[in-house]
Amino acid sequence: MMSPLLGVLGGMGPAATADFLAKLAAHTPADRDQEHIATIVYSDPTTPDRSDAILAGGESPLPAMFRGVAFLDEAGADLIAIPCNTAHAWYDDLAAATMVPVVHIVDAVGAQVERDAPGVTTLGLMATDGTVRSGIYEKVLSQSGRQVIDLTDLGPDNPVMAGIRAVKAGALDGARDILTNALRELVGRGAQGIIYGCTDVSAVLDIPPEGSDVPAWDANDALAIACVNRLRG
User: Do 137 and 177 share a structural domain?
Assistant: yes
Spot the catalytic one: 198, 204, 223, 228.
Answer: 198
CA distance readout (Å), 134 to 32, 44, 53, 185: 41, 22, 11, 22
The per-residue pLDDT for 4 is: 95
Amino acid at 15: A
- C-alpha neighbours within 13 Å on the C-beta side of residue 202: 30
**Integer CA distances (angstroms), 44 to 14, 84, 124, in order:** 8, 12, 30
- Set 81, 84, 178, 195: catalytic member: 84
Same-domain status, 70 and 154:
no
- CA 161 – CA 165 distance, rounded (Å): 6
Q: Confidence class of residue 3 from pLDDT cuts 50, 70 and 90?
A: confident
The string of pLDDT tens digits covering residues 148-165 is: 999 999 999 999 999 999
**200: containing domain:** 105-219
How far apart CA 191 and CA 212 sit, in angstroms, is 11
User: Looking at the structure, do residues 27 and 64 belong to the same domain, yes or no?
Assistant: yes
30 and 43 co-located in one domain: yes
pLDDT-based confidence at 1, cuts 50/70/90? low
To the query of whether residue 227 is one of the catalytic residues in this protein, the response is no
Whether residues 123 and 79 fall in one domain: no
Give yes or no: residues 153 and 202 share one domain: yes
Contact 72, 80 (CB under 8 A): yes
The enclosing domain of 44 has a CATH number of 3.40.50.1860
Q: Are residues 20 and 125 in the same domain?
A: no
Secondary structure element (H or E) that encloses residue 165, with its range: helix 159-168
Are 50 and 37 contained in the same domain? yes
User: Which DSSP helix (H) or strand (E) runs through 40?
Assistant: strand 38-43
Q: Are residues 109 and 212 in the same domain?
A: yes
Segment 189-195 shows an average pLDDT of: 97
Domain tally, the chain: 2
Same domain for 122 and 192, yes or no, is: yes
Looking at the fold, whether 113 and 210 belong to one and the same domain comes out as yes
